[in-house]
């Protein structure tokens, strides 16, 4: 004798259940999902770019600081020790932002050509 636990699907029960649970507006649902997936893909792309941007900004800041220290060291008198604070103070961005007497095209040019 076949066990009642092993019987196949009951077509009549299945039909009634499908009818009672039938979702409306299939096409609209699929369209909404496609838009959500596209939005998700865009968001992911921006997340990746944002992920790259943070270390990029940190690296640029580190390079600028190193450059500023190198410039300050090359301008300092023989034997003088240049600190990070000196380097930041005398760096081109600081001069330009502070609008001090040294600011202007001379400072930018000096930063570009160094002591040549």
Partner 1 sequence: MRTSSVADAELARRAASGDGGAFGALVDRHAPAVRRAARALLGNEHDADDAAQDGLLAAWRAIDRYDPARPFRPWLMRIVLNAARDLQRRGIVRRAEPISPAEAAPGMSPERETDRALIRDKVARALARLPERQRLAVTMFDAEGFAHAEIADALGIPEGTVRSDVFHARRALREALGSLLEETR
Which residues make up the interface to partner 1 (CB under 8 A)? 4-6, 9-24, 26, 29-30, 32-34, 36-38, 40-41
Query: Which CB, 51 or 100, lies closer to partner 1?
Result: 51
Judge contact between 71 and 114, C-beta under 8 A: yes
Determine the Cα angle at 57 with ends 51 and 61, to 5°. 155
Min. distance of Cβ 7 from partner 1 in angstroms?
8
Nearer to partner 1, 11 or 78 (CB): 11
Closest CB to partner 1 among residues 22, 78: 22
Radius of gyration of the chain (CA): 34
């Amino acid at each position: 004798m076949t066990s009642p636990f092993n019987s196949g699907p009951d077509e009549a029960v299945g039909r009634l259940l499908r009818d009672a649970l039938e979702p409306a507006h299939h096409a609209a649902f699929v369209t909404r999902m496609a838009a959500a997936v596209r939005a998700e893909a865009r968001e992911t792309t921006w997340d990746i770019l944002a992920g790259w941007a943070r270390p990029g900004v940190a690296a640029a800041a580190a390079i600028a600081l190193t450059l500023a220290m190198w410039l300050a060291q090359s301008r300092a008198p023989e034997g003088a020790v240049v600190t990070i604070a000196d380097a930041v103070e005398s760096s081109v961005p600081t001069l330009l932002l502070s609008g001090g007497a040294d600011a202007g095209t001379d400072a930018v040019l000096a930063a570009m050509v160094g002591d040549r």
